[in-house]
Amino acid sequence: MPKVHLLDYVAGNIRSLVNAIEKLGYEVDWIRSPDDVPRAEKLILPGVGHFGHCLSQLSQAGYLPAIQKHIKQGKPFMAICVGLQALFEGSVEDPDVPGLGVIKGTLGRFDDSTKSVPHIGWNSASTAAQSMYDLRQDSKYYYVHTYRMPYIKGELESQGWTVATGTYGTETFVGAVAKGNIYATQFHPEKSGVAGLRTLRAFLTGQGADALGTATAAESAASSIKDGLTRRVIACLDVRANDQGDLVVTKGDQYDVREKDDSRNVRNLGKPVEMAKKYYEDGADEVTFLNITSFRDCPIADLPMLEVLRQTSQTVFVPLTVGGGIRDTVDTDGTKVTALEIATMYFKSGADKVSIGSDAVIAAEEYYSLGRKLFGNTAIEQISRAYGNQAVVVSVDPKRVYVLKVDATRHNIIETKFPGPKGEPYCWYACTIRGGRETRDMDVVELAQAVEAMGAGELLLNCIDKDGSNSGFDLELITQVKQAVKIPVIASSGAGNPGHFEEVFDQTTTDAALGAGMFHRGEYTVKQVKDYLRSKGLLVRLFEG
């Protein structure tokens, strides 16, 4: 098998990249010291987390001269995400840390006054060049980043670079650059489905470098009417062991996953790995697994969900999130295991993000009780510091609490179009923990703002009242939360048909929408949802076979 060398310089969730490379028929050989760099023919620099962290790790380990030499020798070099950023002179993320300076320019932060930041999701990498490592005008690629190199027409081209761009809101940014033996992508090819594998293959086979064009990216971006971030559709699988001990995908109504008949069996809707693959092939932009019982009596290293992730990540090349049981805990043999260690096991098994539920509520309560101070010791802070904010999702399980008057509670209330059982015109959303079994004195706005401050990159916003109802998303809840935070929000609970997805994208500013039951029961496919959204003029990514 031909080899490709991967720099192993920082803790990162790069299992997916290894899987993608292996899928393309290459063997990954790790570079674990600067002395090993000269033996690399094709070298990939994966980038995770922080610009400063990434560069200081490289610098402290003595990698910088070795990388520069590899590049100067004209050997193939690819950099991904923060790896692309490292090629520039610097970034406002860490102004004191210099970049490699291979490309002139300094990265800035996306403007979050009118849009969510980080920029998460599927966007273009448009280039007029006939071929830039097989990037295609109509394809979409998976991005997740807060800092970006703004695209200024002609600037990088005058330094000899071919540029591909994406557009987020009104900002056009550098999505990929190439020159001679160097190829760098801001997006994650390993998470970009078939389109991502195609460009990775072009780098590995060396076919992409031959035909680099010179036309400016702006010319091509203008010619593309399909530019911009797509509407993200996510399939979610609630997973647990049933009474026979088999791992099954289940789905509750208001979080009750047992059959309504006398058997009270756990609803069994299928096998997690197979269903995830089907959703990927139907065009799901992400797949989320929620381990809804946390497998409490199982040694952590044997968590069945780790194997689910390992198997799924070998065939599913879109982002995978896993939630349930991510908290400091004590293993069955009495050993203490931190949330960060559990998250690390999941990342090593192929997860791209972890989702934290109950523990986030407890941490938020502590945050307020300590006067909104952060001490860096919560699971959210620790995991986001090690793996980047984008790797930490907070899953929220709110429930409506109706009140008669505006001043009936200290909580953030809304006036609702759907009054309570006694005609109450107002409500607030109480956060719950332990799968909705325990309600806390914290509202959803308080939680969202606290976890944003701690470094969560995204919110998975469920709604217990709507869960499994097939009656559409809770638009009032989503609007309230969207107004409270800058980080992206995934609307969840209540999807029953494609129209509900259109409704949530049309009537709220949600960044993504998630469905579960309607897909599992076979009522609609992800493809049908996307086709419908497209027919209504919304931009979506379609599966490329």
> Can you give the binding site for ligand 1PR, defined by CB under 6 A?
236, 238, 251-252, 255, 257, 290, 292, 294, 323-326, 355-359, 395, 397, 435, 462, 467-468, 492-495, 515-517
- Tell me how far, at minimum, the Cβ of 348 lies from ligand 1PR, in Å: 19
Among this protein's residues, is 50 annotated catalytic?
no
The DSSP H or E segment spanning 446 is helix 444-454
CB of 276 to ligand 1PR, least distance (A): 14
| Side-chain half-sphere exposure of 254, counting CA atoms within 13 A | 5
Shorter beta-carbon distance to ligand 1PR: residue 157 or 465: 465
For residues 226 and 538, give the distance between their C-alpha atoms in angstroms, rounded to a whole number: 10
| Nearest residue to 218 via CA among 169, 182, 183, 166 | 166
Minimum separation from the CB atom of position 468 to ligand 1PR (A): 5
Residues 220, 118: Cα–Cα separation, whole Å: 25
Q: Which of 81, 427, 431, 463 is catalytic?
A: 81
Catalytic status, residue 415: no
What minimum distance in Å lies between the beta carbon of 334 and ligand 1PR? 21
Catalytic pick among 285, 365, 397, 446? 397
Which of the following is catalytic: 190, 227, 381, 502? 190
Q: Which is nearer to ligand 1PR, 236 or 364 (CB)?
A: 236
Residues 116 and 118: their CA atoms lie apart, in Å, by: 6
93, 134, 157, 238: which one is catalytic? 238
* Rg of the chain (C-alpha set): 23
List the catalytic residue out of 188, 227, 359, 476: 188
The residue (of 93 and 502) whose beta carbon lies closer to ligand 1PR is 502
443 is catalytic: no
The rounded distance, in Å, linking the Cα atoms of 96 and 29 is 32
Q: At what angle do helices 193-205 and 15-23 cross, to 10 degrees?
A: 70
Q: How far, CA to CA in Å, does 119 sit from each of 72, 187, 449, 518?
A: 33, 11, 18, 28
Q: Which residues does 279 contact at the CB level (< 8 Å), separation at least 6?
A: 235, 287, 519, 526
Whether 407 is catalytic = no
Closer residue to ligand 1PR, CB minimum distance, 78 or 234: 234
3-state secondary structure 26-53: CEEEEECCHHHHHHCCCEEEEECCCHHH
Provide, rounded to whole angstroms, the least separation between the CB of residue 165 and ligand 1PR.
Answer: 34
Backbone φ and ψ of 304, nearest 5°? -60, -30
Nearest-5° angle of CA 140, CA 142, CA 148? 105
Cβ closer to ligand 1PR: 82 or 316? Answer: 316
Smallest distance, Å, CB 434 to ligand 1PR?
7
Nearer to ligand 1PR, 166 or 435 (CB): 435
Active site residue 70: no
Catalytic site residues? 81, 188, 190, 238, 397
